[in-house]
Every structure is written in structure tokens, then in C-alpha cells.
Amino acid sequence: MSKIEPSWDYYRTFLMVLKGGSLSAAARELGLTQPTVGRHVDAMEEILGFPLFTRSPQGLLPTDAARALQPYAETLAATSAALLRAASGQQGTVSGTVRISASEVIGIEVLPPILADLHERYPDLTIELSASDAIEDILRQEADIAVRMAVPGQDALVALHIGPVPLGFHAHRRYLDRCGMPETLADLARHSLIGYDHETAAIRAIIARTPGLPEVRFALKADSNLAQLAAIRAGFGIGICQNALAARDPNILPVLADGFAMKLETWLVMHENLKTAPRCRVVFDALAKGLRTYIRQP
């Protein structure tokens, strides 16, 4: 009966072995050596009383038990990262690291100038930008601040409604010169359409809200909204993108602007614990101002 609690460092090592797939990979990642990592795993198995991995010359295969423990280890890693970010901003001045989570399109097309301006005003601020459509959990503080396109749950969160981001069909002038401008939704069926590869919950919601959308076959399927935007810009065909992004390029023209309109409600979300942290307040305010300016433009 081993009643000794394992070293918390074992959890970190355990997680890296899970993610790296081998003792050696985890050792490289952690700045340790392979025997040390192996010893950590051995010790953890000894204390828990069951094996975590099946060893092989190709690496370590996690057992079901190890997989069951992975989410806990992930939470530990996220929390200690959040602790370090919080510590980075404890110097009184606006300094330290703030991690922002946003969608690919927002993170790459919209945020950079806002962040550049912000960094000019606060040079001691380090920004971690996670531009990914995989949502990071604000409650678990995987990120400090998130730009969300859905109404956030109201648990221990500071949520600010930014407003609607208007979307619409767009195409490059070159494409429209070649293939003509559709007049009705039904016309779309005769065009090169750029769309999604897999139906997500967000997409199903859009389809449900939009009557008269014809049964279409996409000529280009991409789950990445960024790739869809790039395809529109390259003149591949007609696709949906944010109006404000399209308007930046005079050669990108709206298509069926009257017959089809959509908007994405945008929220800025922050963990309640952080609302007194100067580094987060500053970023939150800058994002709110920048995003509001962005959605107001034609």
C-alpha cells in the first residue's frame, strides 16, 4: 500500500510521453534524458499500481488507464502555463504574456494590425496568438482571452458582445467576367462554388436559417475558412467570406448581396480571475476597440 503521492513532475513527464509517443521524444521535449523519463514513468506506475504503457522498441503504447488519466494531465499543464502567464504580469507595469485564442480567419486577417498597434504602446507585453478553429477552453484557462463566434456560457466569464460580423458570397472580378454574375440563389448551382468539406454544427445552423439555398455541389471543398478565402481571392469561384475582408480588395465583389445575408455574432471572452490583471485588461480593451472598428467598416 503505497500512500505516497507522486511527484507532480511525474505528471508532466507522463503527459509528454503520451504526446510524444516515446521516452526519447519526451526527454528531448523536456530537456531531460531518456533514462530519467523512463524512471519517472516507472515510479508513477509503481505508485499507481498498474502499468501506464506497454514498452516496445518502437516506443511506448499507452494503456487504457493512461488514456483515462490524460485529460487530468492536460489540465495540469494548462493550469501551470496559466500560472506562469499570471506570474509574468505581476511586476506592476503592463508586462508579461497574454494568450489569445481566435479563429484562423480572425487571427490572421483581422488581429495582426490590432496587436501590432498594441505592442507599440506596450513593448513589454508578449502576445501568444492561437489562431485555430479548435476552441481553447477559457474556463480551464487554456487561453486568457478568446474571440468567439458563439454566445458564451456565463460561468465565471467576462463576456463582451462585439456585434455581428456580416458575411456574404463573394468572388474575384476575374471569375465573374469569365462566368457571369448570378442573379438568384438558384443560379449558384451553375457556378464554381467554394465550400466546406465536413458539416460542422455552425454550418448546419446556417443551412437551417437560410431557406431557398439550392442543393449544391462544391467545386472546392476546404474546412479551413482561410483556404476558402484564399480560393476566392485567387478567382477560383464563388464562396462565403466576411464582407469586410472582401472589401479590402477592390477586385473581390459581393455576389447576391441582397438575396443572401448572414452574420456571425462576435464575443470577446476572458476569465473572471483576469479582469483585474493589467496585462489582460489592456489586451481586452484593445481587442474590443479594434474588433468593433473592424465590424463597423463597410
Partner DNA sequence: TCGTTGCTATACTTTTATGTATGAGCAAGA
Partner DNA sequence: TCTTGCTCATACATAAAAGTATAGCAACGA
By the criterion CB under 7 A, which residues form the site for DNA? Answer: 9, 22-25, 31-36, 38-40, 55-60
Which residues on adjacent β-strands are paired with residue 221?
195
Q: Does 150 bind a copy of itself (CB under 8 A)?
A: no
**Cα-based distances in Å from 119 to 98, 205, 293:** 12, 37, 18
* Among 68, 116, 203, 261, contact with a copy of itself (rule: CB under 8 A): 68
Residue 217 contact among a copy of itself, DNA, none, beta carbon within 5 to 8 Å by kind? none
Residue listed under C-alpha cell 514513468: 41
**φ, ψ dihedrals at 227, nearest 5°:** -65, -40
Return the range that interacts with a copy of itself (CB under 8 A); candidates 64-72, 165-173, 193-201, 228-236: 64-72
Tell me whether residue 18 or residue 264 sits nearer to DNA (CB atom). 18
Q: Does 87 bind a copy of itself (CB under 8 A)?
A: yes
Residue 123 contact among a copy of itself, DNA, none, beta carbon within 5 to 8 Å by kind? none
Tell me whether residue 22 or residue 266 sits nearer to DNA (CB atom). 22
Return the range that interacts with a copy of itself (CB under 8 A); candidates 63-71, 97-105, 114-122, 172-180: 63-71
Buried b (16+ CB within 10 A) or exposed e, 257-296: eebbebebebbbbbbeebeebbbbbbbbebbeebbeebbe
Q: CB under 8 Å to 143, separation ≥6 — which residues?
A: 99, 100, 101, 130, 136, 137
Rounded distance between C-alpha atoms, residue 63 and residue 60, angstroms: 9
Tell me whether residue 12 or residue 292 sits nearer to DNA (CB atom). 12
Segment 195-254, which members bind a copy of itself (CB under 8 A)?
none
* Among 16, 18, 27, 73, contact with a copy of itself (rule: CB under 8 A): 73
Which residues on adjacent β-strands are paired with residue 158?
270
DSSP 228-291: HHHHHHTT--BEEEEHHHHTTSTTEEEESTTT--EEEEEEEEEEGGGTT-HHHHHHHHHHHHHH
C-alpha cell at 196: 466546406
Residue 240 contact among a copy of itself, DNA, none, beta carbon within 5 to 8 Å by kind? none
- Count interface residues toward a copy of itself (CB under 8 A): 34
Q: Does 293 bind a copy of itself (CB under 8 A)?
A: no
Q: Does 8 bind a copy of itself (CB under 8 A)?
A: yes
Rounded distance between C-alpha atoms, residue 160 and residue 261, angstroms: 24
* Cβ 25 to DNA shortest distance, Å: 5
Residue 55 contact among a copy of itself, DNA, none, beta carbon within 5 to 8 Å by kind? DNA
Rounded distance between C-alpha atoms, residue 18 and residue 28, angstroms: 14
Tell me whether residue 23 or residue 269 sits nearer to DNA (CB atom). 23
In total, the chain counts a number of residues equal to 298
Rounded distance between C-alpha atoms, residue 241 and residue 196, angstroms: 12
Residue 39 contact among a copy of itself, DNA, none, beta carbon within 5 to 8 Å by kind? DNA
Residue 34 contact among DNA, a copy of itself, none, beta carbon within 5 to 8 Å by kind? DNA
Binding positions for a copy of itself, rule: CB under 8 A:
5-9, 11-12, 48-50, 64-65, 68-69, 71-73, 75-76, 79-80, 82-84, 86-87, 90-91, 139, 153-155, 273, 277
